[in-house]
Structures are given as structure tokens and as C-alpha cells.
């Protein structure tokens, strides 16, 4: 049977339909309530922060008693008190609740430059009936991603070059018309999906003199059909991750693609950045999930003629699209693989005496190809951080149990609390197989000195993924800035990359005059046959620095140099954008850059898609 939703029928509050039968595993982290108005519509900025991460109603703060709490009702952590966070925060960063660095509360629309409009383009756009806006708020909202320097500037009320107008196409045909008009009137188009970029990909090139139009895909958010025989779904590319999962769940399916940003990032964004999902061990990364892609380019529409599962027809044209970062066109529709919603899910965690043993265990798991849906290894610093986020315990019994666990691990097993680290696990499938799988993994872990540390710790680890971005905003209220970056690296270099990059961050901060030693931490988030994905976090107290963002940029730059020198990649899934462009040549070779350039030159000779990412 094929569910078919006819094209062109507006479904403004599509999300409401889903709230009834929500079975998605996200229930672990989010509450169901917020799906009542999930559609990130024209006025996205009404529910989301204009100068920080996520929903306006959800944020960390230190209350009058100096205790940390998380506001709102959307997450499991919402409304809870986190008693240990303050001490950790002050101890780790040398920060103080007395020293605040609050953000500008409201967007000062007069700080936004007046739009440069291409009148002919605007006139013709009106005639085809696509909604658009040149309100300052709409434009400012779509002029940035979530890099630290972007958010930092917004908090200070500084707005740089932003798009001159925003258009909201409703379907593929609308996009075709807009692109044709843009070509005709030589207007610069920047596709905008979820706005979660962390590569400066959404920043408007300051040297761009043409009118810049942000093409917001949020209205193209329908599942056009589900094909249960082939287990595929045909979806408009503007759909947001959590909506896609929820809607598919209603029919008993899922894509299983869960990047950490899935609450806000869009399908089109995943395709154009080569996104990776937490559960890729079962479902694959985005390139494994797509069966068919439709993209509108200045030269016309590019797509394959059939949905064969694999083709030998020259280089796969999908791979020109995947990772093109909005430089070639707009992805409008995607056919994706879907799977039945798993029957059973179980979290788990393992404590290792040290990071080296943990990595060795992950390597062995990858070797035996028995990785659970997700397996992540946090280093000691993150383990400590995770502890600081433990909510207030409700009963004496739980705190007693915690104490007992701690005693067992550190005293009885002799683990050094300043070296131990923890792996979090997520198993999925049918119950019997999950339990069997779980045993296999725990047996391997035991060989590397790993001790099972319970489901709770595992689940909290994954929850952290979704709230960590909110925590950065809290830090920024108290002179602490933070950023994360990632890489992929062969197994034999994982430890070296982790050690050297962390040490490099510490040394660079010191050299650049950062007063208090920074938090420099990493975790292994994905395993592959031939290597792993490593995520780094760093944060520091910037009191006393005249230009903290510049210092932070220098440190991040140095860290990337270090990654590359140690055999890590330029990016595993964040993409290149403009932030990492300078390293493209050494990454893909001179000829490689030439190849990509020649594709760009053919597809978009007038540089209509002029966000200047990648090359």
C-alpha cells in the first residue's frame, strides 16, 4: 500500500497529527507535549531563540539559591534542579556566579542593514505567488548558524551581512521558479534548512554585492508517499528530523537517522552536508539511507531515472549532491529507506579504568562487527561533566546506591577516579536479540577491564547530547565560551589524536593568555571498520581577554591543524562550509579541488548559489 499525500496541498500544522501515537525512542529525552506546535513555520523565531540554541522556553540558569536548573517542559531534564553543576562549573572554569556577561535581550532591528533588493526579481516573485519577507527579524534569523563566533556576535547585538530577503517555497515547482528567476535577475540564493550549521556555511559572504535571498525550505515538509513494499519514503527536503521520525512512527516506521541536531536540522541539510546519525551502525549514514535525490540547479533539475538500490553508471551523481553544501542547488525531494520501528530498546554503560582501555574495547567491538546501534566513549573530563549534570536524587536510597557504586568501582576495583572513563550504549531490535547482543558486548568489554555501569548512566549520556548545546548559552552568561568540533581517524591513531589535540588546546589557551586552564575533552562517538569518529569539546573562561572570539578562533584553528597533522580528517559530518575551506586543497588534493570546481563551473556558472562554501 502506498500512502499518498497529493502535492501542493498545504498542511500547515502537520505536526499535530503525530502527537497522538508517539512511540519514537526519543521519548527517552523529550516529552511529547512540544509536538503540539512543532511546525517550524514562517515565524520560527517565535518559538526559538534568536541568539542561542533551541527553544526559547528551554534554558539553563542559576536560580536565586545558586542552584542550576533547566527551564521549560520539553525535555526529561526540564524543571529539574542540578545541584552539582555550580561547583563543577566554578571549579572547572574558575568562573563565578558574581561575574555575569548577559546577552542583549532583544534584537535591535535598526542594527540590521537595510535590504539590497533586486526590484525586478521581487516583482516577478510576487507574480508567481511565493511568500517572501524582508523584515529585519526574518533576515537576521537566517543569516547565521551556530558557530561560537556567530552566537557571540548576536549576544552582543552585532549583526553582520544578512540575507536581503527570505522566500518560502512550498514545493519543488516553487523552487524551480525561484531558481529560474534568480538566474534571470542575477540574484544570489542561499538555501536554508534547519539553521544548525556549525561551519559558517550560512554566513553571507561579505564581498557579495548582489541581492542575497535566503531560500527557506521549512514549508516543504511533507511526506509525499510511503512505499511499504520497497520500504522507502518520498519526503520533501525541508522536513525537520524530529517531525520526519514522528510522522513515520505513526505508520510504524522510522528512518533511524538521528543526528544530535535532529530536533532542528532538516533532511535537505543532512543531504547537503553528508550528515551522520547516532544510530548509523544499524541504519547507516545519510549516504547509505538515500535512494533518490531531486535537486534544482541553475542548469535544471538533476535526478536519477529509477530507484535501483545500486547502479554502475559511472560516478554516482548523488555524490556530487551529498556534501555540496548549497553551492550547486536546492535539494527538494528525497526518497529514503525506512525500517519498521524497533520492538525493543535498551541503554547501557560500561566503566573502563582508563581511556586507552576503552578505545581498545571499541576497536575490538568494531573488529567483531557487533557494535550496538550506538556506542560512545567519553573521556574522564566528560565523565566528570556528566556527573555534574545528575539531577537532585529523590530518595536516600538512590543516593545510597550511588555511593555504593562509587565505592565498588574506585575502592574495590581500584579504578582511579581521575582516569576512568565511561562508554554509553544503545541496543535496538527484538528483545531476545538485544539481550544476546548486550551480553556479547559486555563480554568484550570485560576483557578490557570494563564494568557494566547500568542503564541509567547510559541514558543520561545520550540525554546530554541534546542539552549540551543549551549549556553553552549558560556558560556564555558567565564569561565561559565553548565549542565542539569533530574528525574521523584510523583506529591506530585514535589515541594519538585525542591526546595531542586535547593537549594542544590546553597549550594554545595558555599561550594566548587564557587565565584559567580550559576544559579540553573528547569522546569517540562512532565506530567503523577502519576507524572512528572523535568529537572534541573545549571551553574556557575568557575574563581578562580583550578579544575572546579571536583567541577562541586561533585555538580552534590550531586544534584543526593538530588533527590534520595526526592523520585525522577535516570533518566527519559537520562539513567544510567557510570555516574549514582553507584546508580543502591539502585534504582532497589539487586535482580534487579542480574536479569539484569544474562541476560548480558547469552547474552554476553565474554563482547563483553563492554562499561560497567548500571551494
Partner 1 sequence: MKASDRDLRGMKDDEFVDILEERRCSSDLGHAFRTFNPQPYKGGPPCSAADLNKALLDSHFLHRVVKEVAMETGSSQEKVMEEAGEILVEMSHNLHLPFIRLMGYTFSKVIKRLFTSIFVNMDGLNTLQQAVQENPVILMPNHRSYVDFLIISYILFTYDIPVPVIAAGVPLAEMKIVGEILRRSGAFFIRRSIGSDKLYWAVLSEYVRGIVRHGFAPVEFYVEGLRSRTLKSLTPKLGMMQMVLEPYFKGEVFDITLVPISISYDRVLEESLLARELLGVPKPKESTAGLLKASRVLQEDYGSMQVNFGQPLSVRKLCEGKINRSYYNLVPRDLPMKPSAEALACVSWLAHVVVGLQERGSLISPWSLMACLLIQEPTTVLAEQGLLWDDLTEKTLWLRKMVLDFGARLNWPGEAPNSAVMSSAISLHRSIVYLKAGRVYLTQEEVPLRRHRISPEEGVFRTAVPVLMLAAYRNQSLHALVRPAMLAMSICITRSTQRDELFRFFCFLQEVFANEFIFIPGNLSQDFEEACLCLNSCGAVYISEQEVRVSEQSSEVITFLQKLLQPFIDSYQLIFRCVCEEEQVQVFTEKQFLAAVRALALKLILSGETESELHTYETLSSDTQKNVLSALCRLEAVAKLRTSEINEFKVNKAAVRRITDALCGKIPPQMLQAPPDARL
Sign of CA dihedral 506, 527, 389, 24: positive
Helices vs strands, H then E, count in the chain: 18, 22
- Asked if residues 600 and 592 have their Cβ atoms less than 8 Å apart, the reply is no
Residue 561 CB-density burial (10 A; 0-12 exposed, 13-18 middle, 19+ buried): middle
Residue 396, all three cell numbers: 536516600
Among 41, 440, 500, 554, contact with partner 1 (rule: CB under 8 A): 500
Binding segment for partner 1 among 12-20, 469-477, 492-500, 548-556 (CB under 8 A)? 492-500
275 is in an annotated binding site: yes
323 is in an annotated binding site: no
Binding segment for partner 1 among 125-133, 178-186, 455-463, 565-573 (CB under 8 A)? 565-573
Site size toward partner 1, by CB under 8 A: 13
Nearest to partner 1 of 470, 536 (CB atom): 536
Q: How far apart are CA 514 and CA 516, in angstroms?
A: 6
Residue 376, all three cell numbers: 560512545
Task: Annotate 549-607 with DSSP letters as a single string.
Answer: HHHHHHHHHHHHHHHHHTT--S-SSS--TTTSGGGHHHHHHHHHHHHHHHHHHHH-TT-
Site string for partner 1, 332-361 (x = CB under 8 A): ------------------------------
Radius of gyration over every alpha carbon of the chain, rounded to an integer in angstroms? 24
**565 interacts with partner 1 by CB under 8 A:** yes
**83 interacts with partner 1 by CB under 8 A:** no
Q: How far apart are CA 253 and CA 255, in angstroms?
A: 7
Q: Is 195 helix (H, G, I), strand (E, B) or coil?
A: coil
Minimum Å distance from CB 355 to partner 1?
11
197 is in an annotated binding site: yes
Nearest to partner 1 of 107, 497 (CB atom): 497
561 is in an annotated binding site: no
Residue 86 CB neighbour total at 10 angstroms = 17
Nearest to partner 1 of 416, 432 (CB atom): 416
Minimum Å distance from CB 493 to partner 1?
7
Q: How far apart are CA 92 and CA 101, in angstroms?
A: 18
Helix H, strand E, coil C: the string for 233-246 is EEEECCCEHHHHHH
**366 interacts with partner 1 by CB under 8 A:** no
**567 interacts with partner 1 by CB under 8 A:** yes
**564 interacts with partner 1 by CB under 8 A:** yes
Among 499, 512, 557, 581, contact with partner 1 (rule: CB under 8 A): 499
Among 304, 493, 557, 581, contact with partner 1 (rule: CB under 8 A): 493
Helix H, strand E, coil C: the string for 516-556 is CCCEEEEEEEEECCCEEEEEEEEEEECCCCCCHHHHHHHHH
542 is in an annotated binding site: no
- Asked if residues 53 and 483 have their Cβ atoms less than 8 Å apart, the reply is no
32 is in an annotated binding site: no
Among 196, 374, 566, 613, contact with partner 1 (rule: CB under 8 A): 566
Among 343, 496, 547, 582, contact with partner 1 (rule: CB under 8 A): 496
327 is in an annotated binding site: yes
23 is in an annotated binding site: no
Question: What sections of 156-279 are H helices per DSSP?
Answer: 172-185, 241-250, 267-273
Nearest to partner 1 of 233, 509 (CB atom): 509
Nearest to partner 1 of 454, 567 (CB atom): 567
Per the annotation, the verdict on 75 as an active-site residue is no
331 is in an annotated binding site: yes
**601 interacts with partner 1 by CB under 8 A:** no
**492 interacts with partner 1 by CB under 8 A:** yes
Minimum Å distance from CB 503 to partner 1?
4
Nearest to partner 1 of 566, 571 (CB atom): 566
Minimum Å distance from CB 517 to partner 1?
13
**503 interacts with partner 1 by CB under 8 A:** yes
Binding segment for partner 1 among 24-32, 39-47, 237-245, 495-503 (CB under 8 A)? 495-503
Nearest to partner 1 of 287, 356 (CB atom): 356
Nearest to partner 1 of 351, 563 (CB atom): 563
**512 interacts with partner 1 by CB under 8 A:** no
Nearest to partner 1 of 25, 566 (CB atom): 566
Closest CA to 468 of 539, 373, 541, 369: 539
Sign of CA dihedral 576, 578, 579, 582: positive
Minimum Å distance from CB 567 to partner 1?
4
191 is in an annotated binding site: yes
What length does the chain have? 615
Minimum Å distance from CB 437 to partner 1?
30
Residue numbers 579-598 binding partner 1 by CB under 8 A:
586
Residue numbers 408-427 binding partner 1 by CB under 8 A:
none
193 is in an annotated binding site: yes
Residue 309 CB-density burial (10 A; 0-12 exposed, 13-18 middle, 19+ buried): exposed
Nearest to partner 1 of 418, 546 (CB atom): 418
Q: Which residues contact 327 (CB under 8 A, 6 or more apart)?
A: 600, 604, 609, 611, 612, 613, 614, 615
Which helix (H) or strand (E) element contains residue 358?
A: helix 355-367
Closest CA to 217 of 430, 441, 41: 41
- The β-bridge relationship of strands 374-378 and 290-297 is unpaired
- Asked if residues 591 and 283 have their Cβ atoms less than 8 Å apart, the reply is no
Q: Which residues of 604-614 are buried (b: 16+ CB within 10 A; e: fewer)?
A: beebbbbbbbb
Minimum Å distance from CB 349 to partner 1?
24
Task: Choose the catalytic residue: 535, 537, 542, 552.
Answer: 535
Binding segment for partner 1 among 59-67, 162-170, 367-375, 498-506 (CB under 8 A)? 498-506
Helix H, strand E, coil C: the string for 69-86 is EECCCCECCCCCEECCHH
Helix axes 148-155, 548-565, angle to 10 degrees: 170
Binding segment for partner 1 among 128-136, 333-341, 366-374, 489-497 (CB under 8 A)? 489-497
Residues that bind partner 1 (CB under 8 A): 492-493, 496-497, 499-500, 503-504, 564-567, 586
Tell me the catalytic residues: 535
Residues making up the annotated binding site for substrate are 472
Annotated binding site for FAD: 191-197, 273-276, 325-331
Binding residues: 191-197, 273-276, 325-331, 472
Amino acid at each position: 500500500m502506498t500512502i499518498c499525500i497529493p502535492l501542493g496541498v498545504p498542511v500547515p500544522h502537520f505536526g499535530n497529527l503525530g502527537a497522538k501515537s508517539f512511540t519514537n525512542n526519543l521519548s527517552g529525552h523529550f516529552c511529547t507535549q512540544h509536538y503540539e506546535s512543532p511546525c517550524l513555520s514562517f515565524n520560527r523565531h517565535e518559538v526559538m531563540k534568536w541568539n542561542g540554541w533551541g527553544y526559547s522556553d528551554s534554558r539553563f540558569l542559576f536560580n536565586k539559591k545558586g542552584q542550576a536548573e533547566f527551564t521549560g517542559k520539553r525535555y526529561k531534564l526540564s524543571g529539574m534542579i542540578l545541584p552539582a553543576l555550580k561547583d563543577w562549573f566554578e571549579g572547572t572554569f574558575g568562573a563565578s556566579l558574581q561575574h555575569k556577561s548577559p546577552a542583549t535581550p532583544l534584537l535591535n532591528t535598526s542594527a540590521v542593514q537595510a535590504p539590497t533588493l533586486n526590484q525586478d526579481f521581487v516583482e516577478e516573485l510576487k507574480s508567481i505567488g511565493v511568500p517572501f519577507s524582508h523584515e529585519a527579524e526574518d533576515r537576521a534569523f537566517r543569516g547565521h548558524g551556530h558557530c561560537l563566533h556567530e552566537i557571540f556576535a548576536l549576544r552582543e547585538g552585532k549583526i553582520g551581512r544578512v540575507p536581503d530577503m527570505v522566500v518560502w517555497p512550498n514545493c519543488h515547482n516553487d523552487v524551480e521558479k525561484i531558481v529560474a528567476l534568480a538566474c534571470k535577475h542575477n540574484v544570489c540564493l542561499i538555501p536554508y534548512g534547519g539553521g544548525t550549521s556549525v561551519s559558517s556555511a550560512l554566513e553571507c559572504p561579505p564581498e557579495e554585492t548582489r541581492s542575497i535571498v535566503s531560500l527557506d525550505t521549512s514549508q516543504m515538509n511533507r511526506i509525499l508517499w510511503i512505499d511499504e513494499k520497497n520500504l522507502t519514503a518520498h519526503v520533501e527536503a525541508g522536513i525537520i528530523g524530529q517531525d520526519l521520525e514522528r510522522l513515520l512512527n505513526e505508520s510504524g516506521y522510522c528512518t533511524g537517522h538521528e543526528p544530535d541536531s535532529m530536533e532542528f536540522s532538516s533532511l535537505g541539510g543532512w543531504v547537503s552536508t553528508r550528515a551522520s546519525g547516532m544510530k548509523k551502525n544499524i541504519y547507516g549514514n545519510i549516504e547509505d539511507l538515500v535512494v533518490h535525490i531531486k535537486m534544482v540547479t541553475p542548469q535544471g533539475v538533476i535526478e536519477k531515472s529509477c530507484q535501483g538500490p545500486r547502479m554502475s553508471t559511472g560516478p554516482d551523481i548523488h555524490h556530487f549532491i551529498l556534501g555540496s553544501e548549497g553551492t550547486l542547488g536546492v535539494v527538494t525531494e528525497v526518497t529514503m529507506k525506512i525500517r519498521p520501528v524497533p520492538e525493543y530498546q535498551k541503554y547501557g554503560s560500561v566503566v573502563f579504568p582508563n581511556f586507552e582501555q576503552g578505545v581498545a574495547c571499541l576497536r575490538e567491538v568494531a573488529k567483531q562487527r557487533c557494535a550496538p546501534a550506538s556506542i560512545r566513549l567519553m573521556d574522564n573530563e566528560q565523565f566528570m561533566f556528566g556527573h555534574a549534570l545528575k539531577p537532585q536524587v529523590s530518595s536516600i536510597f538512590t543516593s545510597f546506591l550511588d555511593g555504593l557504586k562509587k565505592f565498588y568501582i574506585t575502592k574495590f576495583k581500584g579504578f582511579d577516579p581521575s582516569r576512568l572513563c565511561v562508554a554509553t550504549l544503545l541496543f535496538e531490535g527484538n528483545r531476545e536479540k538485544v539481550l544476546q547482543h548486550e551480553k556479547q558486548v559486555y563480554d568484550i568489554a570485560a576483557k578490557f577491564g570494563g564494568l557494566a555501569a547500568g542503564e541509567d548512566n547510559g541514558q543520561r549520556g545520550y540525554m546530554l547530547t541534546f542539552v549540551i548545546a543549551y549549556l553553552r548559552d549558560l556558560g556564555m552568561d558567565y564569561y565561559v565560551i565553548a565549542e565542539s568540533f569533530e574528525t574521523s581517524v584510523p583506529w591506530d591513531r585514535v589515541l594519538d589524536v585525542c591526546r595531542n589535540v586535547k593537549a594542544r588546546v590546553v597549550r594554545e589557551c595558555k599561550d594566548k593568555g587564557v587565565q584559567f586552564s580550559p576544559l579540553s575533552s573528547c569522546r569517540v562517538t562512532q565506530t567503523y571498520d577502519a576507524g572512528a569518529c572523535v568529537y572534541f569539546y573545549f571551553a574556557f573562561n575568557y575574563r581578562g581577554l580583550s578579544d575572546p572570539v579571536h583567541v577562541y578562533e586561533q585555538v580552534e584553528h590550531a586544534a584543526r591543524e593538530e588533527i590534520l597533522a595526526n592523520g585525522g580528517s577535516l570533518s566527519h559530518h559537520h562539513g567544510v562550509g567557510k570555516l574549514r575551506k582553507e584546508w580543502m586543497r591539502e585534504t582532497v588534493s589539487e586535482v580534487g579541488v579542480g574536479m569539484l570546481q569544474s562541476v560548480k563551473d558547469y552547474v552554476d556558472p553565474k554563482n547563483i548559489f553563492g554562499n561560497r562554501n567548500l571551494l
